Amino acid sequence: MLVWQTRTVVVAAVVLGHGDVRIADVGCRHRRGRGRDGDAGNHHALVFVRRGCFVRSVDGVGHLLDPTRAYCINPGQEQRYDHPRDHGDDCTAITLQPSLLASLWGGDPTLPSAPIASPPAVDLEHRLLLAASRRGGDVHELTERAILLTAATLEQADPRRVAAGRPSTLRARRSLADAAHEALAADPDRSLPELAAELGVSPHHLSRIFRAAAGHTLSRHRMRLRVRAALERLAGGERSLARLAADLGFADQSHLCRVIGSETGSTPAALRRTLACTAHTSAAACD
């Protein structure tokens, strides 16, 4: 039998807070007992349970939640959290803006009230995404991964609804991928939600279609465009790596060096010597 809990401490650390997507690491510390009635959500969120178990009641209907299940929160939804055991629980909450969520969920941001299965691949990706967010990874990459993870999770509840609006023909998909290439070539700083809105398609459809066509993600393509721009500047004799990083959208100079090293297998300094020599002097002078 549950007894009234005397105290609950909830600690939420935001590990990604950018634009349309926020990721929070949520820890709940409490004794065994019944939760407080009348709590209401104030945002749309998808929540993964990482540790522990508890009963969440929505509109009087309770569901047991553990690390094999995810659940959704809708604004204004009355909920109560009961805890059958001590020691608390840990969760990951992904909050999305209503317009973005609607684009993933058939045009309606209202999410299911019943729990959603979190199969092994989905659970692992959620944990990898949380770890990458804690490390402060590239914001565009984290946002794209969060959107794809949300879509993959919602597919467990209603795959046809998530598939709504996907271009149905090969020609349409190729045209969409080409349009994304063109738009990013003009402005690589466009976020995935902004680019999808401009092209009139859901962000997760755009991400999946682009990856199928290009062989890499939109966030990787964006980073490769930045590296190409950096190589062009290095060939022109650019000396300041800090200025180069700031101008091209890298987090800092070390981020610039890591990405260039990953893409080329060389350092910016070595590339500057080689490219400037090739671009501005004869082969004999280089020797």
Chain segment 228-249, per-residue pLDDT in tens: 999 999 999 888 999 999 999 8
Side chain identity at residue 19, one-letter code: G
Check pLDDT > 60 for residue 3. no
* Residue 284 confidence (pLDDT): 44
The pLDDT value given to residue 280: 53
Mean pLDDT of 206-224: 95
Are 55 and 63 a contacting pair, CB within 8 Å? yes
Question: What is the DSSP code string of 33-61?
Answer: BB--TTEE--S-EEEEEEE--EEEEETTE
pLDDT of residue 8: 63
Dihedral angle, C-alpha 163, 168, 170, 173, nearest 10 °:
-60
pLDDT category at 80 given cuts 50, 70, 90 is: confident
Q: So what's the pLDDT on residue 285?
A: 44
Considering only CA atoms, which of 103, 106, 38, 21 is closest in space to residue 76? 38
Residue with tokens 């090739």: 278
Residue 63's pLDDT band (cuts 50, 70, 90): very high
Residue 138 has pLDDT above 50, yes or no: yes
Cα(175)–Cα(181) distance, integer angstroms? 10
The pLDDT of residue 278? 62
Cα–Cα separations (whole angstroms), residue 55 to 49, 67, 85, 100, 181: 12, 13, 11, 28, 46
Across 211-234, average pLDDT: 94
Rounded alpha-carbon distances, angstroms, from residue 50 to 113, 250, 284: 19, 32, 62
**pLDDT tens string 180-210:** 999 999 998 889 999 999 999 999 999 999 9
How many CB atoms are closer than 10 A to CB 98? 15
The predicted model scores a pTM of 0.87
pLDDT at 37 over 80: no
Nearest-angstrom CA–CA distance, 51 and 67 = 6
Q: Is residue 83 predicted with pLDDT exceeding 60? A: yes
Mean pLDDT, all residues of the chain = 89
User: Binning pLDDT at 50, 70 and 90, where does residue 59 land?
Assistant: confident
Task: State mean pLDDT over 9-18.
Answer: 84
